[in-house]
Structure 1
């Protein structure tokens, strides 16, 4: 591993020495030597969640030097720059202010001498009025019938966040049925069209630029079906809405100006659930619950901004991840959610983390020679215990894990299920950390050896509710931001996504026009396109 960038930090040598001292320790040894380890390595956040990081290969000195290390990296200055609206997204010359979207109304924020708090307030008010009218049945379709279904047409950040929160808060939903159309595979579209009635459906076309290929392809196909059934294009007015930073492109599509909800240019796609991109969620759970969701994120924002580092959950998550990434060469992080309501969390976190920190160029434009973002994967407990947990317990890969659980569900019925679920949550973190001892006489049963020493964080919430999911998402946003600072990269752009888009455009023209292949391709791409054309006939 190449450490040159980190060697400039005067505490990096201390971290290296600490690593050499404890790298061969077993987690169980830390507990044997310290009966008070849980209390010293856990945080109670407002009696809403417990963050337990005691089952890690760390000691007090590790945390001490990691926190000294990030102070030397001037992390507080970087945090302040983000919250104050400085243009920390350097490659796109933009501020990063998703935190403003969840501030209470009495918090004022300025950007370029403009009061953006007023813009946010107006946007939220428009969302509130719209959702109220749809939920109450005041807003009707072109045939006079009440709206029963809402289809969110968007991909990436325009779908993953809203879908996650909507599924998590399933028990808070009203009677509206919410659908998410993201994939350009026509089967995705066909499946949704089979479920809905066009005359009682609203379509939210979500795209910051309103040019996203998959989104606009799906939107145009729905529009064709709609006009075919209802004739005049003016009927689109009651059914199609745009969520975009663009005004002209939605209008060209046929959406009226009053049906456009604004996405602010200082909000990145994967951080946009808190904006009008979350409209499908507000329609599903109502304005009051959506505000509680924003409040949860805000109180975590304030914790991140003001809490001392030794008690700061996002910062501790980030430095522990950095510790394993740089010193232990851990290439993956496993996210294990012990709630089916969080079944979409890994998908959401994969974009949030790997699109932010999956970079190979540092802030100085130099090629990076150390690991940046870990690969995020995982699943829902207890299902994943019967699939990939075998690898965690006895495989040869060294991984780090985050376990997430909720003590209280929305429903109190079937209490034994919850006891069973949480028992598995506690058991797996214990088994991974401590393994299983065997006496010498049984030492030949090699296939039953469990070495343990797999590190994990436990994040346990009091209950499933809008505040909790707001806290959880904000917490991981800030963790990933701190990781980016430590890795000396810009976390808020995603230029790697653009290459595939540009190549796609050329190939799409070739397939769409059904002409000879005019571009110079490698033999593999050329051969595949030839077979496509042959079989398509």
Structure 2
């Protein structure tokens, strides 16, 4: 990592890249391909069930050589070792960032500051497995004795986006021989998602997972308090439940909370104070950031959907990428190369918009997941030493399923004025397991259609008009400039293991870029500020604090709300 006296932009390799970019930024991608017939092989790597194609990046051999030198000068090799060995890489909070320890195999050894990390992690996984098995066996009963049918995960940020993304992506891997348990997610503090569930679900057969690292997140606790009151209000009033015998004994609030809540947090005392039974509490460590937490007990909803065997395959896939990240030389290291492509685009080609475009409906939430992973991690403007940066850091990320995005914002990609780098993501194989031959044939044809669009779009973004067969002159509104860079990530097949590898690839890419930018990707003080100001504003809205110190706009908005309440 850059020293306290040298910022990244003063490193020799950075200076060389700045000069190199002046010559290369005016070279069109079509010419880079025309000059190098072996370009695809040269800029493509394969590992852990993934193929990473970086040949459509606007770079050449010299660019990559300079970027690899930058990675060395910025201390990337040492930083990788520090991350994976449990050093205190989260400097502002003075602790490790050990999400990779959550996916270490049971026979691995990692002792951090005197603690056996691996043993503690696998103890927590074993406890989670016991809870999952009870639910899958239909043995977890609600307060009235009926088996749980619906599980609602109450969380926000990493406690929501990770499990939501993975459960949707791997729904095909749901075990068929278990008691049916449906998993749902409620994250919005306005209660709209939760209100829908409470209007439809039977409280007797509904269980809530309260996931909050600190157990102070107001979004999650507001939903949890509403859910608790709903359960107690319904289950203690037998008249409201005709299916409950009128001769049954009254049900205590303590029993209701015990049988209808699981807690996942790094604060067991707060979970107990809220009412969650100790044996229904799952541990979550301070050294795991929320957006990196799906690999541990925050992944309970994932395990409920796909089973613990598949959950462990997810961990194994991520660990395979961790091992590659640790052992592969920089020039063959997928996370390093993907990270360096991003550095080149942001800092030297001035491309500050990045779109994530999966061509598989199961990856519907992957773009949203990466938005948090990257922008919360690297949306920083201060170095690890506390100096203001004078170079760009994280680009703006957004995305959508590629086939849908083609009918939404691809117009801007092809003919707009903004340079955008795109990541295309797709599995090579799909639908082999469909039993009916005709249905399999139709679905495989649709998969080929999706891949054709994926490959075609990246080609047109690269070549522009040159991708079209010449059919005579065209007016300007039918011209395509091309030269939009992209990466393509192909999965051999979307499985728990390859999804684990894919997620870990992007996690480590974020870390590589943070090291080069000399920023801390493991804190989120901007998020904390928003929470603090929101709490103060709520006190004003509730009449507990004076509105006098508010700015004119905020005062006007609050007064508009007060007026609406009086109508």
| Mapped partners of 2:227, 2:97: distance in 1 | 33
| Mapped partners of 2:9, 2:448: distance in 1 | 48
Among 427, 430, 443, which residue is 1:409 paired with?
430
Deviates more, 1:228-237 or 1:50-59: 228-237
Deviates more, 1:187-196 or 1:515-524: 515-524
| Mapped partners of 2:420, 2:469: distance in 1 | 27
Q: Could you say which residue in structure 2 is the equivalent of 1:488?
A: 518
Is residue 472 of structure 1 aligned with residue 473 of structure 2? Answer: no
Once the 2 structures are TM-superposed, how far is the Cα of residue 335 of structure 1 from its aligned partner?
0.6
| TM-align CA RMSD | 1.6
Is residue 450 of structure 1 aligned with residue 480 of structure 2? Answer: yes
Once the 2 structures are TM-superposed, how far is the Cα of residue 442 of structure 1 from its aligned partner?
4.9
| Mapped partners of 1:441, 1:203: distance in 2 | 61
Q: Which runs of 5+ in 1 are unaligned?
A: none
Matches within 5 A, 1:328-339: 328-339=349-360
| Mapped partners of 2:164, 2:80: distance in 1 | 28
Among 215, 222, 236, which residue is 1:217 paired with?
222
Deviates more, 1:487-496 or 1:501-510: 501-510
Q: Could you say which residue in structure 1 is the equivalent of 2:19?
A: 17
Give me the TM-score of the superposition, normalised by structure 1: 0.96
Once the 2 structures are TM-superposed, how far is the Cα of residue 142 of structure 1 from its aligned partner?
1.5
Once the 2 structures are TM-superposed, how far is the Cα of residue 390 of structure 1 from its aligned partner?
0.7
Q: Partner of 2:519: helix, strand, or coil?
A: coil
Is residue 528 of structure 1 aligned with residue 530 of structure 2? Answer: no
Q: Deviations over 1:115-148 (max 9, x none)?
A: 1111111001001111011111122212221111
Give me the TM-score of the superposition, normalised by structure 2: 0.91
Q: Partner of 2:354: helix, strand, or coil?
A: strand
| Mapped partners of 2:26, 2:200: distance in 1 | 56
Cα pair 2:339 2:510 within 8 Å, conserved:
yes
Q: Could you say which residue in structure 2 is the equivalent of 1:106?
A: 107
| Mapped partners of 2:325, 2:117: distance in 1 | 22
| Mapped partners of 2:329, 2:428: distance in 1 | 27
Distance change >3 Å, CA 446–CA 499, structure 1 → 2? same
Once the 2 structures are TM-superposed, how far is the Cα of residue 248 of structure 1 from its aligned partner?
1.6
Once the 2 structures are TM-superposed, how far is the Cα of residue 186 of structure 1 from its aligned partner?
2.3
Q: Could you say which residue in structure 1 is the equivalent of 2:245?
A: none
Cα pair 2:425 2:490 within 8 Å, conserved:
yes
Once the 2 structures are TM-superposed, how far is the Cα of residue 16 of structure 1 from its aligned partner?
2.4
Among 239, 252, 256, which residue is 2:273 paired with?
252
Q: Partner of 1:382: helix, strand, or coil?
A: helix
Q: Partner of 1:286: helix, strand, or coil?
A: helix
| Mapped partners of 1:13, 1:254: distance in 2 | 58
Is residue 33 of structure 1 aligned with residue 46 of structure 2? Answer: no
| Mapped partners of 1:147, 1:515: distance in 2 | 41
Q: Which runs of 5+ in 2 are unaligned?
A: 1-5, 237-251, 435-439
Is residue 502 of structure 1 aligned with residue 548 of structure 2? Answer: no
| Mapped partners of 1:49, 1:490: distance in 2 | 28
Deviates more, 1:363-372 or 1:101-110: 363-372
Q: Could you say which residue in structure 1 is the equivalent of 2:337?
A: 316
Q: Could you say which residue in structure 1 is the equivalent of 2:165?
A: 164
Q: Partner of 2:484: helix, strand, or coil?
A: coil
Once the 2 structures are TM-superposed, how far is the Cα of residue 307 of structure 1 from its aligned partner?
0.5
Matches within 5 A, 1:212-361: 212-231=217-236, 232-233=252-253, 234-361=255-382
Cα pair 2:50 2:502 within 8 Å, conserved:
no
Matches within 5 A, 1:414-429: 414-429=443-458
Cα pair 2:50 2:501 within 8 Å, conserved:
no
Q: Could you say which residue in structure 1 is the equivalent of 2:459?
A: 430
| Mapped partners of 1:203, 1:449: distance in 2 | 54
Q: Partner of 2:490: helix, strand, or coil?
A: strand
Q: Partner of 2:92: helix, strand, or coil?
A: helix
Distance change >3 Å, CA 121–CA 516, structure 1 → 2? closer
Q: Could you say which residue in structure 1 is the equivalent of 2:45?
A: 43
| Mapped partners of 1:387, 1:356: distance in 2 | 28
| Mapped partners of 1:16, 1:248: distance in 2 | 53
Distance change >3 Å, CA 43–CA 516, structure 1 → 2? closer
Once the 2 structures are TM-superposed, how far is the Cα of residue 448 of structure 1 from its aligned partner?
1.0
Q: Could you say which residue in structure 1 is the equivalent of 2:240?
A: none
Q: Partner of 1:265: helix, strand, or coil?
A: coil
| Mapped partners of 1:296, 1:171: distance in 2 | 17
Q: Partner of 1:91: helix, strand, or coil?
A: coil
Aligned residues: 532
Once the 2 structures are TM-superposed, how far is the Cα of residue 9 of structure 1 from its aligned partner?
1.6
Once the 2 structures are TM-superposed, how far is the Cα of residue 202 of structure 1 from its aligned partner?
1.3
| Mapped partners of 2:219, 2:161: distance in 1 | 14
Q: Could you say which residue in structure 1 is the equivalent of 2:249?
A: none
Q: Deviations over 1:435-478 (max 9, x none)?
A: 11489995561111111111110101111110111011100000
| Mapped partners of 2:9, 2:212: distance in 1 | 42
Matches within 5 A, 1:109-148: 109-148=110-149
